[in-house]
Every structure is written in structure tokens, then in C-alpha cells.
Amino acid sequence: MARCHVAKFTDDELGMKRGITRRDLLNGMLVGGGAAALTALPGGAAHASSGHGGGSAYPPSSNGVVGQTDAARTVGHNVTFGGADTGPARDLREHYDLVVVGGGVSGLAAAYFYRKTFGSRARVLVLEALADFGGHQHRNEFRVQGRTLLSNGGMVNLDSPDTWNSPSLNLMEDLGIDFAKLAEGVDTGYYTSKGLGTGYFFPEESFGADRLVTRGATEALSALIARLPLSETARADILKVENTTEDYFPGLSDADKKQRLARISYADYLRRHVGVGEEALVFYQRRTHGLWGTGIEAVPAGDCWGTGLPGFKGLGLEPTPYNGIGRTPAMSLTTTDEELYYFPDGGATVSRLLVSRLVPGVFSGRQTVESIITAGADYGRLDRSGADVRIRLNAMATDVRHRRGTRGPVDVSYVSGGKAYRVSGSHVVMACWNSVASYIVPGLPAAQVEAMRYGVKVPLVYARVALRDWRAWERAGISRVTPYDTFWDSCSLATPTHQGGYESARRSDQPIVVTLSKTPNQPGLPITRDQHRAGRRQLLETSFSDYEREIRDLMQRALGPSGFRASKDIMAITVNRWSHGYAYEYNSIADPVIFKPVAEQPFVRARRPFGNITIANSDAGAFGYTHAAVDEAARAVKELT
Ligand SMILES: Cc1cc2nc3c(=O)[nH]c(=O)nc-3n(C[C@H](O)[C@H](O)[C@H](O)COP(=O)(O)OP(=O)(O)OC[C@H]3O[C@@H](n4cnc5c(N)ncnc54)[C@H](O)[C@@H]3O)c2cc1C
């Protein structure tokens, strides 16, 4: 279990036993029959949270733990590693031109590109293990006091499109996505304009009493640092990191400095070169969680410089990538685009648009970028016999093999509802994760299997909490809480969006979504991939009640003095659990192979076509972004021509 402290309040005081979902369903407060505009299936969401899986005929409105649930994981692991008897696969006598394994954006884009390449009469089946399409592009919906609240359950931002390749840019154009318009709908400056800043929460367990130190929206960082409940030395260290103009590598060229930074961690750079003590390092420890899932002791200093973390001003580095830099910092250095591009449901709208183009009828009529945001979806129409494209949810592929050698049709077995089935395809695109593909495609060359298992996906948890209002936040003068060394990495009011007739809360007496994130890991394990494995174990051992208690406890302690009452103010909780989150991105400390030519790196060996089976997914680019997932889909389809 990954808890960092014991909850200060009792479960009763936190409202743990309040049974929000059932009670609120009775009151019609969550999405349900009352949300017919959004759920084309009447009453489709009327399933109470069980805390696990939260099954629903309309998955975006499921509460409890969603995302990669135990149910989906167990099927895959049991069938692949033994222990499950699903009987012989029943041959459904369904043959498709293309079978796609994995219904994330990469799989959906592969289906879309295939039909563009092979013609719109091509028949395609997409198999998806989870209860929803879109993979990490997952949408959360709540309904509170008559308002629908949307949020991203996973992927949020279409990052730096000025660095994208043509397949991703062309797909966005085909879908009608106008980046400039998208950015207009994200009101990044809203809370600052209301004078709301950030609160740093220091827990009683380490600081003797709970303290929320707030920084006003326009207040200088130095003023905040002066108030932090840390030793004078630690405060001076933090000030130094933020303001230093010293060149710690005098006499070295730009290239040599960058190579030095590539070979030490950010923690070591701060410790050894900037001279920061251990107490101040804690202040920075989680700064790298959001991008890489590990702390500063596991991320190269060069990658931190590339993404704008403090402490490097005096080195006078040219803002250009270098051999060994990670792909995310390389993107940060290359882009000149500072905008955020997301929908009220993050990037889930991209998957919804793809589905609307692939399977007419799931969304009524021809959907535009604007109309689809509040459009209902009929999940019952995703997999209709006779349709050219079918998307089969809750279907975990377990065996993908050519009928003969590495030519001709490919048989694909999958498990659904505890039973095994078989279909076939002239072509197959594996748009699931590389590690999965390595187990379920027998006959792959050993070197390719090894390459596919090299990366370890980053585990992440995004919790979404529907509040009936955010007056306590306004009274506290903040829109976000940064907890200091506790369970959650961050906790914020969702950034307001207005798009396609959807408006998030602008007034503090209106319901709102709070977003919390956690990237479990085990600091100190020398190999980043082992940290992700350890983090995944923690994530899987943490129950919904544990997450819920940590959510309520943090918010009560940080905002209680401003009038927040967890037992009354929290209306619903959805925990999006991504045990297999971001694609693994190589870094220059853990992966010396990053210094080799790209063609020699494992992810390139891993994506070689195998007969009529090709490999998509963001793992195939070792780059956890939507544009990588889409570009890899385009390549995988091209390889089939
Ligand atoms: C919390 C989070 C936040 C993110 N934020 C951003 C962001 O802001 N911007 C950005 O660009 N990217 C972000 N990403 C990265 C994200 O991974 C990509 O943007 C993209 O959505 C990945 O798509 P994919 O199709 O490659 O993988 P996935 O979304 O993982 O899709 C693969 C699908 O395959 C399915 N599958 C696996 N095995 C099987 C099987 N055997 N049979 C059938 N189906 C199977 C899985 O269930 C999954 O749905 C984020 C990721 C996470 C987890």
C-alpha cells in the first residue's frame, strides 16, 4: 500500500461512509436518467459505484476505480500466464480485412488510416480490452445539481503541434480540429484573473501542525519561500536554485556542458553543483513526476534543463537539443508554441470524433468538433453485425497468429465475458502495448520480443472529484494545492473550458471538478524501469477506499480552515487508474542505448512488421503522446500496403 500518512479525521468525519454514489443516484445528482442529453441510452449510467470497475452502459459516467481495472488486467494475465480456463476458442466465422488489437487513439487512427488507404468498403474490427474506447483518451462525466461536469480521465493536452509530423496534423485536419479555436476555449488565466494562487500543504506528521502556505496569484516566489516552514538553510537553498546565475561548468563548451548534464541526475546536479542540501531537495523531488513518473534522482539534469526546471540559468546553454536528450525535452526545446490545446474532456474528444467517423450511428448525425462535446453516445451501436467497422469492447486479445507461417490470414483469439472466441483478419495492427504484443503473437523473433519488453509503461492515477461548489477554495485564495511529501502529487480546480456549448463553472457557488494526480514509484531504485514496476505494484495494491480516504483527508486538512467539509462538499469520485500509462521514454542515465543511432534502439527493433501483422501504439515510438500514437498507426498501416 502506498499511503504516506494516517488520515487525521475519522471515516465518518470525512464522509467515507456517506455512500455518495447510491444516495446521489437516488437524488438524481450523478449522471443517470437525468442526463439523457449526454447518454443516448436512457438511464445508461444508473450503476452505482462498486469501487471496482464501476460498470456502466455509458462508461464515461462510471465512478469508483475506472481506466485499467482489475477485471481487465486479470483476464489478460490469467490467460497469458496461465491459470484461466476459457475453453477452446469458438470460431465466430467473422473475417475482416483488418483486425486492430487495442482501441486507444492509435488503434482507432489505424482503423481510420486503413480505410483511407484500402477504401471505405474495407471491413475492420477493433478489439478493446476495456469497457470504453479511447484508451488513455478517457472521458469522465459527472452530473451535480443539474449541471454536467466533464473532465479528462487520462490524456489531456495536444502537445506542441508545431513539432508534429504530417500524419497527426492531417488527421486533426480531417477531424475538423482547429488548434487556434481549441486554445481559445481553454481559459488558462481564469483563476489568476480572480486573484487565486497556489497553496503548499505541509502535513502535521512532518511539521507538527498542518499548514497551508499560500502564494498569491501575482506574489513573487521569494515572498513565498520566506514563509515556508523549512529551516533557514533550506529556504536559502531554494532561493538559490530559483535565482542562481552561476556557471557551474566554467570553461566547458556548450556541447560538453550538455553531455555532463546528460550523465547526472537533477538531484545530483542540485546537490553537487548548486550546493543544495537534502531538506531543500524534498521541495523539488516530485517536480519530474508529471512528465516522467519518477523523482529528480532518476531524471537526467539535461532533461530537466530542457523542460525549463530551475538552476541552469548561469550555464548559458544554447536552447537546442543534443545527443542523449530525452524526446520530451527535445520537443520542449523545439516548439515555439506555448498554448494548451484541449477539450473539456481532455483529448477524449479526438477518440470520440474518430469513432463518429468510423461507426456512423454511435453518435447521432454527423458530429462536428463542437457538437460532439455534449453529444450522447449509443454504445450499443459500436459492434453491429453487418457494419463495415465494428468496435468490440471488453474483448481482450489473447493470441494473434498467422494461420500458416508468416503469410496469409491471421487468426485472432480473444476473451470476453470469460469465454474465448476467434475471428480472422487479412491484416492485423497491434495497437496494444508492446509488452502485451510480445506475449500474444507467437513466433516473433526472439530479438524482437526482447526489444518489445525493454520499456516499462509509467503508472499514473488521475482522480477526479465532483464538488458541489468551490467557495472554500475562493476563501483560501487558491485554485491549487501542492501537497508536500504526501500521498497525492497535486490537487487543483480544473481549468475552465468553454467549447461547443459546454461551459465549466465560473462562479464559486457552482459545481466543479477537482483533479488530483499521483505517479507511484520507488525513489532510489537505480533503474527507472524498476521504479515504474514498483509503482505499478503500489497502484494495484491500493483500493478505492484508500484513494478516497486520501482525497478526503487532504482536502479536509488543507481547506477545512476555509470552510470545506469533505462529508458534504464531495459529490462523487472517479479514480482513473493507469497501471500502464505513458509509453516508456528513454533517458540518458537509465538507458545508455539512447546515445546510439535511433535505428539501433529497442523501440525501433520492436516495431518491425511480422508477416501481415504490424505494430502501432505510442510504445512503438517510445514517446507517450497522442501524435506519437497516431504517427505509429500511420506507419503500421503503410507497412501493410
Ligand atoms: C494519465 C495520462 C495522461 C496523459 N496525458 C497526455 C497528454 O496530455 N498529451 C499527450 O499527448 N499524451 C498524453 N498521454 C499519453 C497517451 O498515452 C497518448 O496520448 C495516447 O493516448 C496513447 O494512445 P495509444 O493508443 O498508443 O495507447 P492506449 O491509450 O494505452 O491504448 C491502447 C489500448 O490497447 C488496449 N489493450 C491492451 N492490451 C490489449 C489486448 N490484449 N486486447 C485488446 N486490447 C488491448 C488497452 O486497453 C488500451 O485501451 C497521457 C497518458 C496518461 C496515462
pLDDT at 393 (0 to 100) = 97
Cβ distance 323 to 586 under 8 Å?
Answer: no
**By percentage, how much of the chain surpasses pLDDT 70?**
93
Which residues are CB-neighbours of 21 under 8 A, at least 6 positions away?
30, 48, 49, 63, 64, 572
Instruction: List the beta bridge partners of residue 530.
Output: none
Which residues are CB-neighbours of 23 under 8 A, at least 6 positions away?
none
**Please, what's the b/e burial string for 607-635 (b: 16 or more CB within 10 A of its CB; e: otherwise)?**
bbebbbbbbbbbbbbbbbbbbbbbbbbbb
Output the CA 128–ligand 1 centroid distance in Å. 12
> Across the chain, how many H-helices and E-strands are there?
25, 19
The predicted model gives 57-78 an average pLDDT of 88
pLDDT at 52 over 70: no
Q: Which range is least confidently modeled, 8-22, 117-131, 208-222, 511-525?
A: 8-22
Cell numbers for 260, please give them: 555532463
Cell numbers for 104, please give them: 486507444
How far apart CA 43 and CA 145 sit, in angstroms, is 17
pLDDT at 385 over 80: yes
pLDDT at 8 over 80: no
Q: Mutate which of 100, 136, 603 to test ligand 1's pocket (most atoms within 8 Å of Cβ)? A: 136
**Please, what's the b/e burial string for 293-318 (b: 16 or more CB within 10 A of its CB; e: otherwise)?**
bbbbbbbbbbbbbbbebbbbeebebe
How far apart CA 324 and CA 301 sit, in angstroms, is 12
3-state secondary structure of 572: strand
Cell numbers for 277, please give them: 542540501
pLDDT at 50 (0 to 100) = 29
Task: Give the mean pLDDT of the chain.
Answer: 92
Residues in contact with ligand 1 (CB, 6 Å cut-off): 76, 101-107, 127-130, 135-137, 154-157, 159, 396-397, 431-433, 436, 440, 460, 462, 578, 581-582, 617-618, 624-626, 629
Kindly report, residue by residue over 263-303, the tens digit of the pLDDT. Answer: 999 999 999 999 999 999 999 999 999 999 999 999 999 99
Output the CA 459–ligand 1 centroid distance in Å. 11
User: What confidence category does residue 86 fall into, taking pLDDT thresholds of 50, 70 and 90?
Assistant: confident
pLDDT at 44 over 70: no
Cβ distance 162 to 335 under 8 Å?
Answer: yes
User: What confidence category does residue 30 fall into, taking pLDDT thresholds of 50, 70 and 90?
Assistant: very low
User: What confidence category does residue 18 fall into, taking pLDDT thresholds of 50, 70 and 90?
Assistant: low
pLDDT at 5 (0 to 100) = 55
Kindly report, residue by residue over 458-489, the tens digit of the pLDDT. Answer: 999 999 999 999 999 999 999 999 999 899 99
Q: Which residue has the higher pLDDT, 7 or 5?
A: 7
pLDDT at 184 over 90: yes
The DSSP output letter for 617 is S
